[in-house]
């Protein structure tokens, strides 16, 4: 008697859903040292109202909530927003629509953060102006980005996205991310001043990217969105191949992958 084949009834994840899960399960923890350094410096606690701009699946908000803060987030990508809401976080698509059942976040907050989305924003200056509008007078805005490329071992790995993306002259669509576009001295400070905020200090934080194996490293890095345009133009198979090769210098004994990186943040005060 032939054995019956059992087919899984679990729905297959879309590419966007899988990328979101890879972010939440693999990549988001890499920036925990950055989140914690900022929260420690600003003494985030029960008296703090935190709004995370581009909060993705919400780990930074969870850490602030664990300190007693009131938290809310804005995240344009629906798959990431859904994961954040699964964590019982109040996360909207933007401040004007898609209100959660418990209502929109407060109009202004004592701390507004842009930890992960500043360098990939279409208009970083406008994002910072929006952050300023959402911050209580006397409150703080925190902007973060990659540190100097020479201090980041992931720089060569991130360059795969640039090499495999279409040249600007090709006229192809898609967003081209420059992870180090705001890393030069004074770049973040100029955004702060341009938004009418007062610079109130800065810092650098070590954020090593560590993965148990090459497959996890590739999945985690692809989940950042940095490689999307390259994958559309050159094909995902080539992106994965080039990314895997670029990661080989960072393989450790036992197959783990580790890259030392530095992230920089600037604190600004709303006037």
Q: Residue 234: its pLDDT value, please?
A: 96
**In the prediction, which pLDDT does 172 show?**
53
Place of tokens 């040249």: 167
What is the pLDDT confidence band of residue 95, given thresholds at 50, 70 and 90?
low
Q: Crossing angle, helix 32-41 and helix 59-66, to 10 degrees? A: 40
**Average pLDDT of the chain, as a whole number:** 90
Question: Tens digits of per-residue pLDDT, 226-245?
Answer: 999 999 999 999 999 999 99
State pTM to two decimals: 0.90
Q: How confident is the model at residue 178, as a pLDDT?
A: 86
Q: Apex CA 221: angle with CA 60 and CA 256, to 5°? A: 100
The pLDDT, as a whole number, for residue 169 is: 62
Q: What is the mean pLDDT of residues 92-108?
A: 59
Q: How confident is the model at residue 122 (pLDDT cuts 50, 70, 90)?
A: confident
Burial class (CB in 10 A: 0-12, 13-18, 19+), 168: exposed
Write down all domains in the chain, each with its CATH number in brackets: 15-155+173-210+259-270 (3.40.50.150)
What's the CA gap between 99 and 242, in Å, rounded? 41
Q: Residue 169 region, left (φ>0) first, then alpha (ψ -120 to 50), else beta?
A: alpha
Q: How confident is the model at residue 108 (pLDDT cuts 50, 70, 90)?
A: confident
* Percent with pLDDT over 90 in the chain: 82
Assign 120 a pLDDT band (cuts: 50, 70, 90): confident
136: helix, strand or coil: strand
The pLDDT assigned to 173 comes to: 55
The pLDDT confidence band at residue 101, using thresholds 50, 70 and 90, is very low
Model confidence over 35-58: pLDDT tens digits?
999 999 999 999 999 999 999 999
pLDDT in tens, 6-27: 444 456 889 899 999 999 999 9
* pLDDT tens by residue, 171-229: 555 566 789 999 999 999 999 999 999 999 999 999 999 999 999 999 999 999 999 99
How many whole angstroms separate alpha carbon 80 and alpha carbon 161? 22
pLDDT for the residue 11: 64
């Amino acid at each position: 008697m032939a054995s019956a084949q059992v087919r899984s009834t679990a729905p297959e994840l879309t590419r966007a859903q899988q990328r979101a899960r890879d972010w939440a399960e693999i990549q988001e923890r890499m920036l925990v040292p950055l989140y914690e350094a900022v929260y420690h410096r600003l003494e985030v606690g029960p008296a703090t109202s935190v709004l995370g701009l581009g909060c993705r699946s919400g780990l930074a908000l969870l850490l602030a909530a664990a300190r007693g803060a009131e938290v809310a987030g804005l995240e344009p990508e629906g798959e990431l927003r859904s994961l954040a809401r699964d964590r019982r976080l109040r996360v909207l698509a933007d401040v004007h629509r898609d209100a959660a059942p418990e209502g929109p976040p407060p109009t202004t907050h004592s701390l507004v953060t842009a930890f992960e989305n500043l360098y990939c924003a279409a208009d970083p200056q406008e994002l910072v102006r929006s952050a300023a509008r959402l911050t209580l007078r006397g409150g703080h805005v925190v902007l973060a980005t990659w540190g100097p490329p020479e201090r980041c071992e992931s720089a060569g790995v991130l360059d795969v996205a640039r090499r495999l993306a279409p040249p600007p002259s090709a006229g192809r669509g898609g967003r081209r991310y420059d992870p180090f576009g705001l890393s030069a001295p004074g770049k973040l400070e100029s955004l702060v001043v341009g938004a009418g905020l007062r610079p109130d200090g800065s810092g650098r934080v070590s954020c090593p990217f560590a993965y148990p194996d090459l497959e996890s490293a590739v999945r985690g890095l692809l989940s950042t969105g940095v490689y999307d345009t390259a994958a559309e133009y050159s094909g995902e198979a080539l992106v994965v191949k080039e990314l895997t090769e670029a990661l080989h210098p960072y393989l450790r004994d036992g197959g783990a992958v580790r890259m030392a990186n530095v992230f920089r943040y600037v604190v600004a005060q709303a006037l």
